[in-house]
Amino acid sequence: MKKRSEVLREAIEEMIAVGKLPPGHHLDETELATEFGVSRTPIREALIQLDSMGIIVMRPRRGAIVAEISPQKLVEMFEVMSEVEAICARLAARRMSPADHAELLARHHACEEARNAPDPDEYFYRGEEFHDWIYVGSHNDFLIEQARTLHRRLRPYRRLQLRVRGRINKSFSEHDGVVKAIIEGDGDKASELLRDHIMIQGQRFTDLITSMSKRSNLAA
């Protein structure tokens, strides 16, 4: 059973991922304790966990804020994420069993069903499950751990990308190519396709920065 602080950490992390707590937002321990109906102690423990993950920044005598990432660092982080996922895809193409393939297809189909869901975040959640199964399919525990850690750090920004017009359908199409390459055992192709799917550059980066600006303005 999870500790209360871990449950709270996941809840606060989710609020950050979906934009309820935007970058730069001050996290008041008393307000959070009241919102979740707990004492400040588990809230404090949860914030310490989030700080260690780089999702928030705890400042001496000034409290905690949701971490802000500069455009340059964001590009660098997506660059690393794209390479990590590319490795996962290459290994998954070599190591996934028929049962793994069946689960990958099930998660891919869940993404397909979520494309037209009333809640645009439905595709985001199903997409996370899809990508996580590719991590698992690498059958490399250390790689899985690293991929999940970096994915968690980039969650708010991966979600925002999907808010750009037409991006969800394009994302699903890219998933489809990755799935086919993995099932065919073509590690190089799977790796290349997933790397391109994750990497933000050119217009995609401009769209992401615009989405971030809009969210900041709405939160102001």
Interatomic CA distance for residues 149 and 76, integer angstroms: 15
Give 55-100 pLDDT, tens digit per residue.
899 988 888 999 888 888 888 989 999 999 999 999 999 999 999 9
Percent pLDDT > 70 in the chain is 92
The token pair at 115 is 């494309």
Give 141-162 pLDDT, tens digit per residue.
999 999 999 998 888 888 888 8
Structural domains present in the chain: 4-66 (1.10.10.10), 71-219 (1.20.120.530)
- pLDDT for 79 equals 92
Interatomic CA distance for residues 197 and 171, integer angstroms: 7
Which residues lie across from 65 on neighbouring strands?
26, 57
User: Is the overall model pTM greater than 0.85, yes or no?
Assistant: no
